[in-house]
Structure 1
Amino acid sequence: MKKIALLLLTAALSTSALAAPETYVIDGSHTFPRFEYSHFGYSNQVSRFDKTSGQIVLDRAAKTGSLDVVIDTTSVNTGFPVFNEHLQAEDFFDTKKFPTITYKSSKLNFAGDKLASVDGTLTIKGIAKPVRLDITSFHCMPHPVLKKDACGANAIAKIKRSEFNNGKYAPYVGDEVTLTIAVEAVKQ
């Protein structure tokens, strides 16, 4: 009887050890949030932010976790320095007053073993709104170069920029913006 109890206790402790949350630090050299919008109906313009930081806590066994992402708005990159400055001005990102965009979440939604979406709060120019990120790909494995566990994902969402006090020239310059975030993070 003691052997069975000891075996059950050992199994329970092993299972709880497997379900421990893991913390991943966002790899800023492989994480680039992009935004796309219609430019007067002529074309869709795509730009990105070059500096992103934060962490992801993930418990794959329990299917829970959290995200805390910070995007440096001064790192906006349109491919044209003069336009970068235009987007950093008060009419758009107003980077002097609001140097960051944040996304925080404690609700990860799984479909089986795969992360399917994340519900969180996006804050732009001090305005916080609920935003769901749909996950189009998600993969964790040992990183072949860093020799540490790492996870990566692609996420997508649509927002209205006017809801974040960023609607100058709408509707001529599209109000709807598609956010696409490629993120990679390395286990601490």
Structure 2
Amino acid sequence: MNRIAKLSAALIISAAAAAPVLAAPETYTIDGSHTFPSFSYSHLGLSTQISKFDKTTGTVTLDKEAKTGAVDITIDMKSVNTGYGTFDEHIQDTDFLDTASHPTATFKSTKVRFDGDKPVAIDGELTIKGVTKPVTLQVTHFVNKPHPMMKKDTIGANATTVIKRSEFNAGKYAPNVGDDVTITVAIEAIKN
């Protein structure tokens, strides 16, 4: 009987050793010094204006084996940077960003879609000025590798989507100032 117990234990240990190791989701913290959401729009049909936000926080979760992930980003809307201080103040007024009442915007993913090993689209909920709408960020670049200086696992990505600012109660001067706003996010996140 003792021999059967030993043989059973050996078989269980062998089976456990042969079973694939399942990767767990890994969490990465947004590197605020290398993450910049920007937005662009047509100004009176004369030019495409480009502005950005300087303060972004959040996390990215990635499970490479399961090909799943999650993105949770908060943007400090008061950190808007148009390149011109007077316009930074103007765009924070109630007709546009209304940062006094809504100091942050958020993006919370509902699904990350993969093609092979790389995410190609992130579906989620974008909240600006208290209005939440579904959006899809198209991932145009993605890399996951050790950071060459910090020696920590890092994610780098670029993604883009187009929204209508009027749907977020920020449509003053539309259509002369374009209603379509392209949001582009350059993101780097470091594994915790």
Report the residue type matching 2:58 in the other structure: G
Aligned residues: percent identity? Answer: 57
Q: TM-score, normalised by structure 2?
A: 0.93
Matched residue SS, 2:98: coil
Counterpart of 1:92? 96
Candidates 81, 87, 91, aligned match of 1:83: 87
TM-superposition CA deviations, 1:46-93 (whole Å, max 9, x none): 000000000011101101121110000000000000000001111100
Structure label with greater radius of gyration: 2
Please report how far the alpha carbon of residue 5 of structure 1 lies from its aligned counterpart in structure 2 after TM superposition: 3.5
TM-superposition CA deviations, 1:95-135 (whole Å, max 9, x none): 01000010001311000111100000000000000000000
Please report how far the alpha carbon of residue 4 of structure 1 lies from its aligned counterpart in structure 2 after TM superposition: 4.4
Q: Does 1:121 align with 2:130?
A: no
Query: For this pair of structures, how many residues does the alignment match?
Result: 185
Q: Does 1:15 align with 2:24?
A: no
Please report how far the alpha carbon of residue 11 of structure 1 lies from its aligned counterpart in structure 2 after TM superposition: 3.3
Report the residue type matching 1:50 in the other structure: D
**Matches of 1:8 and 1:33 in 2, distance apart?**
48
Matched residue SS, 1:34: strand
Please report how far the alpha carbon of residue 6 of structure 1 lies from its aligned counterpart in structure 2 after TM superposition: 2.0
Segments of structure 1 that go 5 or more residues without pairing to the other structure are: none
**Matches of 2:36 and 2:76 in 1, distance apart?**
11
Q: Does 1:135 align with 2:139?
A: yes
Segments of structure 2 that go 5 or more residues without pairing to the other structure are: 1-6
Work out whether residues 41 and 182 of structure 2, in 8 Å CA contact, stay in contact via their aligned partners in 1.
yes
**Matches of 2:155 and 2:100 in 1, distance apart?**
33
Candidates 61, 64, 72, aligned match of 1:60: 64
**Matches of 1:10 and 1:55 in 2, distance apart?**
33
Matched residue SS, 2:177: coil
The alignment yields a C-alpha RMSD, in angstroms, of 1.1
